[in-house]
Amino acid sequence: MQQKLPQQAGDDTLVAMPPVVVPVKLRQLGFDGAHLDRLDCLAEEVPVALVYNGISHAVMMASPAHLEDFARGFSLSEGIIEKAGEIRDVEILPHAKGIELKIDLAPESFWRLKERRRTIAGRTGCGLCGLDSLEAVARDLPKIDGQQKISLHAIERALQALPAAQVFNQQAHALHAAAYADAAGTLLLVREDVGRHNALDKLVGAAGRAGIDPASGFCVITSRCSVEMVQKTVIAGFPILVSVSAPTQMAAKVADEAGLTLLALAREDSALIVTHPQRIATSGEHDK
């Protein structure tokens, strides 16, 4: 991964990376008419363009941190690559108007991406476009077979540790988090972003770069559990997803069909088991 700093003039001027959290002066108003001037923090949100072998594919609004992880995780969870080694390099180019991620794909991966873009480009101005788009939502997902059990104690430990690990959110109170915990509930990776999908993509990319086997632990997210979050979790290979919020019905259905163990409304003292409870040890069994 390379990161370039200022070097040229014009519209493509390269600048320093923006901060993730920005200090600002704000006025707190009381409903009784009182006010208090205070120094606060706001989360930065910038356009991040993902460019594959010179072709712009998507622009996401994201937090400017762990962007190589984001590039790699997004590529995997969106089906652009099938394994981490298909990305040969990621170059991070911060511009005045946003950040460009130049991703160097292996030839076979780039061919798949071009075929995918060609197919999508052809679906315009016809009565089947809506059908094609709806069918695209129901992605073909791998089946999760791992049966390793995780104790409730491990899940409790991870949930208790997560707030302190959200270093950016502690300052700005506006970022989602996605975390990987091992079988004992120890948090090994935490990624934050203003976008919930981005946070999970960053976690997926970070796990791949670290050589972590997702099946050896579980994933925790602080955001709403939509179907896309379930799909990304399954594609990454996490057998268990713990969400602090409730899932949608479609998310629960997809999780059940894919064999994903889904826990929702997770708190430090309880969680709702939604699908595939066989991976959760509920009989007081603790980590070994």
Annotated catalytic residues are 126
DSSP 255: H
Question: Rounded to an integer, what distance in angstroms lies between the CA atom of residue 145 and that of residue 142?
Answer: 9
Answer whether 61's CB lies under 8 Å from 46's CB.
Answer: yes
Question: Rounded to an integer, what distance in angstroms lies between the CA atom of residue 79 and that of residue 73?
Answer: 10
Backbone angles phi, psi at 153, to 5 degrees: -60, -40
Answer whether 177's CB lies under 8 Å from 190's CB.
Answer: yes
Question: Rounded to an integer, what distance in angstroms lies between the CA atom of residue 155 and that of residue 172?
Answer: 26
Judge residue 280's burial from the number of C-beta atoms within 10 Å of its C-beta, 0-12 exposed, 13-18 middle, 19 or more buried: buried
Residue keyed to tokens 């946003």: 98
Neighbour tally for 27: CB within 10 Å: 9
Question: Rounded to an integer, what distance in angstroms lies between the CA atom of residue 176 and that of residue 48?
Answer: 17
Q: How many residues does the chain have?
A: 288
Question: Rounded to an integer, what distance in angstroms lies between the CA atom of residue 181 and that of residue 162?
Answer: 10
